[in-house]
Structure 1
Amino acid sequence: MGYRTYTCPIARECGGCEWLAVPYPIQLRRKQEQVEGLIAGMAEKDGAEVEPIAGMDDPVRYRHKAATPFAHARGGRVASGFYAAGTHRIVPCEECLVEDPRARRVLNGVARVAERLHVPPYDEDRGVGVLRHAVVRCGWKTDDVLLTLVTRVEELRDERRLVRELRAACPEVTSIVQNVNDRRTNAILGRRCRTLFGPGLMRDRLLGCDFEIGPTSFYQTNPEQTEVLYRLAIAGASGARRALDAYCGTGTIGICLASSEDDVEIVGVEQVRGAVASARRNATANGVDGRCHFVAADATDWMAREGAAERFDAVIMDPPRAGSTPEFLAGVAALGPERVVYVSCNVVTQARDLELLRGRGYRLVRVTPVDMFPHTKHVETVAILERR
């Protein structure tokens, strides 16, 4: 039986889709084996199941967020594209197989406008120049396109003309934001933002819920698979009367849960204050603000200080790639929820954390891999645990 394969003219130089030449069913099999290799032992002990991986029907054009660095090129040109694997040499890209088609058109349009207006790209060796990166977020269920220009300096020469030229070159853009990053760092975004055009954010829809996404908000890159991920998380917390959404970001999982179940109350905890403000607005926009309460705090500290006096039937956790901490997991166990829903973008750290939860009185019920990033080695997982 033959499998469809995908090709890209810059695949070897770019290196972003390291499994592009591997037939997609084989990619899924490898990811399934990776998860089973780390989880199957504890799953067998607990009588749990590692379910088949949830892949995509058509694994292309799934990335709705894209970015480019900028650099000087010959003849006064401004280079944009991807860094070649293991280097800071920019590989030009006209169209990317895995991105929303609007994204790369806008990013390359920014480079052409910078050339015409003589906006100097950032020189990372000398720490001079103006334009460092551009980041584009494209709506999945909406036509919104948010463009963020990352600059080294706050003041932009002839700012009105710059905005006018960008709008002409990129008519699909609905908001333009400037983000200032004046640090000598590899991090793309800085701490300060200001709106140059439009509302300064974009809106999108997941599982029938509306969300606002700002330039620094965490929002999953692949919204189609995000719905798969969230359905699994919601099923794991189904029936809970009160649920704690830790690492809640802009409230997406908790709000989707509250919208799907009329009698659940959500408490979301997130240490980024801007994200908490967005979460509250998102709850109001979806008519669940009476049942969703968001707190700006470190989740571990909050559980030790205030959460100890509260009762939760379920805890939903979606930590960063580094996973959670022993202190946080101890706090979860101290709350004593009937179920823990652990959403992870790194099954290695998740497996470590699951062992800690199992040692604190929980048993594994189900683990489901989700292919969020086809043609790469990355795999996401949703693990459901119950109190013994």
Structure 2
Amino acid sequence: MGYRTYTCPIARDCGGCEWLAVPYSIQLRRKQEQVEELLGTAAEKDGATVEPIRGMDEPVRYRHKAATPFAHGPHGRVHSGFYAAGTHRIVPCDDCLVEDPRARRILNAAARAAEKLRIPPYDEDRGVGVLRHAVVRCGWKTDDVLLVLVTRVDELRGAERLVSELRAGCPELTSIVQNVNDRHTNAILGRSNKTLFGPGVMHDRLLGCTFEIGPTSFYQTNPAQTEVLYRLALEGTGIAGGREPHLLDAYCGTGTIGICAAARASEALVTGVDQVPGAISCAQRNAHANGVEERCSFVRADATKWMAKARDETYDVVIMDPPRAGSTPAFLGGVARFAPERVVYVSCNVETQARDLEILRARGYRLERVVPVDMFPHTKHVECVATLVRT
């Protein structure tokens, strides 16, 4: 891997890849040290080790989801690009080193089409204008490309002409969706969607399974490393063909980990829990698309509240992939009450993971394996898969 570094003409202004000037081998070493500092002592006490971080062979072009804000420019121009670090000043970008090559060209094409059709960009100070953001998702193992245009208002005048312009300039687009966000918020996406072209969703494949991805679905940005992450999680479950374990997939989203588990072990039963209605309906469709719908059930509920009520359930394995804030003591207490043989904790924030693992360790579990995964090269972020077994 050596000490090669990458360059970007807007790196200083953008700030998104804060470690871009750091050789990748050193980035990995820093992330390894971060996980060892937070989890190394607990792992050592339990007879486990923090394994070497799983990095990428070539840490570029890994982001298959990209976004841009829009803003007024001089002479009717519509600005697009990235917010400069710590500001809402837009830095133009023609191509991004870490994004799918299709992404930035499509986002900039949306800005040019808005200029041509005189669709006004959103003015966040005054709360007026139409076009707020655009988000593009590009398939990793499919050719699907979904463009989401985020507007302040329901009515998008000239929508048909806009779609024609975008399809003419970006023939790779397979679907275009309007998402409406009328709130005064920094959140990009709103709650309602309107399909302007195509099926309104895209599909991609992970570990041989096909998944539907909607305009607001959570789907990992780096699918290549997601396969690494999921393989580690599935190894942690201990399941294999011929067994009939019951898995709880908490914070399941669109069901990706649980469905991969069901596809891996032909007798496995999976219960997925998530509080997002759209995610649960998508998970059900994904289970059907992969032929595991009879062994996968999905429940719309807050994971902690559901855990408090599901006192009579029994599970062999719990897989949990909570948000950055981590889990809750009540949920973790419920896990201990279920007393599964194994718990697989996938985390995007090792600090909250370390906090939660201490609760599980105090309730009769020990660490068996800890593996960091680099999902976001050139940034400080690191993910981690921790496997625990009941003592």
Measured against the shorter chain, the TM-score band is over 0.9
Deviations 1:214-260 (A, max 9, x none): 00000000000000000000001122611000000000000001101
In structure 1, the partner of 2:388 is: 385
Q: Offset at 1:205? A: 0.2
What is the TM-score of this pair, normalised by structure 2?
0.98
Q: What RMSD over aligned residues (CA atoms) do the two structures have, in Å?
A: 0.9
Question: Aligned partners of 1:3 and 1:304: how far apart in 2?
Answer: 51
Determine if the alignment matches structure 1 residue 286 to structure 2 residue 252. no
In structure 1, the partner of 2:373 is: 370
Distance of aligned partners of 1:387 and 1:2 in 2 relative to their CA distance in 1, 3 Å threshold? closer
Question: Aligned partners of 1:3 and 1:42: how far apart in 2?
Answer: 32
Q: Offset at 1:167? A: 1.1
Is the 1:264–1:291 Cα contact (8 Å) retained in structure 2? yes
Determine if the alignment matches structure 1 residue 315 to structure 2 residue 318. yes
Deviations 1:98-149 (A, max 9, x none): 0001000100000000000000000000000000000000000000000000
In structure 2, the partner of 1:60 is: 60
- The correspondence of residues 1-388 of structure 1 with structure 2, limited to 5 A, is 2-239=2-239, 241-306=245-310, 308-388=311-391
Structure 1: 5+ residue stretches without partners: none
Secondary structure of the corresponding residue to residue 309 of structure 1: coil
Q: Offset at 1:2? A: 4.9
Q: Structure 2: which amino acid aligns with 1:126?
A: R
What is the TM-score of this pair, normalised by structure 1?
0.99
Question: Aligned partners of 2:350 and 2:177: how far apart in 1?
Answer: 34
Q: Offset at 1:300? A: 1.5
Distance of aligned partners of 1:106 and 1:241 in 2 relative to their CA distance in 1, 3 Å threshold? same
Q: Structure 1: which amino acid aligns with 2:61?
A: R
Secondary structure of the corresponding residue to residue 68 of structure 1: strand
Deviations 1:58-113 (A, max 9, x none): 00000000000000111211000000000000000000000001000100000000
Q: Which segments of structure 1 move beyond 2 Å, counting only runs of 4 or more? A: none
Question: Aligned partners of 2:2 and 2:45: how far apart in 1?
Answer: 38
Is the 1:132–1:152 Cα contact (8 Å) retained in structure 2? yes
Question: Aligned partners of 2:83 and 2:123: how far apart in 1?
Answer: 14
Is the 2:308–2:331 Cα contact (8 Å) retained in structure 1? no
Structure 2: 5+ residue stretches without partners: none
Deviations 1:2-34 (A, max 9, x none): 521100000000000000000000000000000
Q: Structure 1: which amino acid aligns with 2:328?
A: T
Is the 1:368–1:383 Cα contact (8 Å) retained in structure 2? yes
Q: Offset at 1:163? A: 1.3
Q: Structure 2: which amino acid aligns with 1:259?
A: A
Is the 2:141–2:204 Cα contact (8 Å) retained in structure 1? yes
With 163-172 and 95-104 compared, the bigger mean Cα shift is at 163-172
